[in-house]
């Protein structure tokens, strides 16, 4: 099929590249010229395992093209995916400027039948608005994406479900055909329900994490182990074992923003959503909790604190809304000198932080440290040489619960973590 993708962020690029890999003819459109030029040189500005290789191979095979020209890009497209950014406004509502701009241009240039597919995460009734704008020009569908950063390619090809929301049989048929090779259960819905499926899924996952973090604090007070508690809770199939890892809290470009946007939607419809308010509050407090563990261990003023991990999660260079960045700023505000290491996210972190000494080697970052904080659960931290850490400092605050508390204490560490401090 001939598919145009508007927006080459995580979702747009991964969708374009993976659909190309499935054999479709893809053209990715982005207004940022430097991005398009980078793709055409075989460079991938986004770090995500497997993604750069697929950009290069599909571009070489000419299944994947890039352009800054929307008019040209949508010329022959049967399907036009809108994957532009939907940032937050100051009041938490979603800023739909880029969506509106894309729709305006589609309306202006579309000269044949196509299905316009809303893939960006948006508040309910956005697609209805798009439909009104494009009436008699195109059919509209909502097809939310559930892929995660760090595992985007893997998630695209192995989704738990595909959601197709539309009231057009033709659009439904085309999208069903597009995804057929993935052999995944498809849920067919109306436009509004499809949008809420995405909003409600992200908020539910954020809620699971905050719930684990809430229980973790009780575990610390009551001398229990949150790891074991959540393993026991998650074994109930109705609950599920994933997204119950307590730690420093969730970050990234999705959960914090999407939760607030969903709250704003409830507000607009006069439905009390204090449950979601609680989820957000717990997450904000979680950084404070990790900070309190640091301060219980030493007075941070003028001390050297090494922070391991800057990305909001492993396998990405993304530091947007990273709890690690929030923690570092709080440590600095209290007078700490911060050294930091991350396998991929240093360049992005440099744009967010000042007066931090960055290291390309985790062991070098430990030199002279009074205390170490683990802020991202990169796999390489789990296998660190603990003796090398101990040569520098015995004080470790594990904001991601990656180490075994018994072992750490056995080795003589002054070790604290989240919900496992028995
Ligand atoms: C999230 C959703 O998981 C995707 O399904 C969705 O498509 C995406 O948002 C989106 O809307 O675009 P993502 O933000 O890439 O994906 O990352 P997650 O793997 O969900 O992690 C989010 C945050 O939660 C990270 O900071 C992670 O460290 C934290 N987390 C995750 C925990 O603290 N505990 C857990 O048990 C799981």
120 C-alpha to center of ligand 1: Å? 16
In terms of Cα–Cα distance, which of 369, 420, 376 is closest to 399? 376
Assess whether the C-beta atom of 245 lies below 6 angstroms from ligand 1.
Answer: yes
Helix (H, G, I), strand (E, B) or coil at 321: coil
Ligand 1 atom closest to Cα of residue 11: 12
pLDDT per position as a tens digit, 315-351: 999 999 999 999 999 999 999 999 999 999 999 999 9
Active site residues: 254
pLDDT per position as a tens digit, 95-149: 999 999 999 999 999 999 999 999 999 999 999 999 999 998 999 999 999 999 9
* pLDDT-derived band at 207, boundaries 50, 70, 90: very high
Output the CA angle 158-160-162, nearest 5 degrees.
Answer: 95
pLDDT per position as a tens digit, 352-409: 999 999 999 999 999 999 999 999 999 999 999 999 999 999 999 999 999 999 999 9
Assess whether the C-beta atom of 262 lies below 6 angstroms from ligand 1.
Answer: no
Q: Is 275 exposed, middle or buried (0-12, 13-18, 19+ CB in 10 A)?
A: exposed
Beta carbons within 8 Å of 101's beta carbon, 6+ residues apart: 84
Distance of alpha carbon 300 from alpha carbon 176, whole angstroms: 57
* Closest Cα to atom 9 of ligand 1: 254
Assess whether the C-beta atom of 149 lies below 6 angstroms from ligand 1.
Answer: yes
Assess whether the C-beta atom of 421 lies below 6 angstroms from ligand 1.
Answer: no
């Amino acid at each position: 099929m001939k598919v145009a993708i508007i927006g080459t962020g995580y979702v747009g690029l991964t969708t374009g590249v993976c659909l190309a890999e499935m054999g479709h003819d893809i053209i990715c459109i982005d207004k940022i010229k430097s991005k398009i030029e980078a793709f055409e040189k075989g460079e991938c500005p986004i770090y995500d395992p497997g993604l750069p290789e697929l950009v290069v191979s599909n571009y070489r095979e000419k299944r994947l093209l890039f352009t800054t020209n929307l008019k040209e890009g949508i010329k022959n497209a049967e399907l036009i995916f809108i994957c532009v950014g939907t940032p937050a406004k100051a009041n938490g509502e979603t800023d739909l400027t880029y969506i509106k701009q894309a729709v305006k241009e589609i309306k202006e240039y579309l000269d044949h039948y196509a299905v316009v597919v809303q893939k960006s995460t948006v508040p309910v009734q956005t697609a209805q608005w798009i439909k009104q704008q494009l009436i008699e020009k195109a059919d509209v569908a909502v097809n939310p994406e559930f892929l995660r950063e760090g595992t985007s390619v893997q998630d695209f090809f192995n989704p738990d479900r595909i959601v197709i929301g539309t009231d057009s049989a033709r659009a439904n048929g085309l999208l069903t055909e597009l995804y057929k090779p993935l052999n995944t259960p498809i849920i067919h819905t109306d436009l509004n329900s499809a949008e809420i499926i995405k909003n409600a899924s992200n908020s539910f996952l954020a809620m699971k994490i905050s719930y684990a973090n809430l229980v973790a604090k009780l575990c610390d007070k009551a001398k229990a182990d949150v790891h074991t508690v959540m393993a026991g809770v998650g074994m109930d199939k109705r609950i599920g074992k994933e997204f119950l890892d307590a730690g420093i809290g969730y970050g990234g470009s999705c959960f914090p923003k999407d939760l607030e946007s969903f709250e704003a939607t409830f507000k607009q419809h006069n439905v009390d959503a204090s449950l979601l308010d609680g989820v957000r509050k717990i997450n904000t407090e979680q950084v404070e909790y990790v900070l309190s563990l640091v301060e219980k261990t030493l007075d941070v003023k003028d001390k050297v604190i090494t922070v391991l991990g800057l990305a909001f999660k492993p396998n990405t260079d993304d530091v947007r809304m990273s709890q690690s960045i929030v923690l570092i700023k709080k440590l600095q505000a209290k007078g700490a000198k911060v050294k930091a290491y991350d396998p991929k996210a240093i360049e992005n972190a440099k744009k967010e932080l000042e007066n931090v000494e960055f290291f390309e080697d985790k062991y070098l970052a430990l030199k002279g440290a009074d205390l170490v904080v683990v802020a991202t659960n990169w796999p390489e931290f789990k296998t660190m040489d603990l003796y090398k850490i101990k040569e520098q400092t015995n004080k470790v605050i594990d904001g991601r619960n990656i180490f075994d508390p018994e072992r750490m204490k056995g080795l003589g560490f002054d070790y604290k973590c989240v919900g496992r401090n028995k």
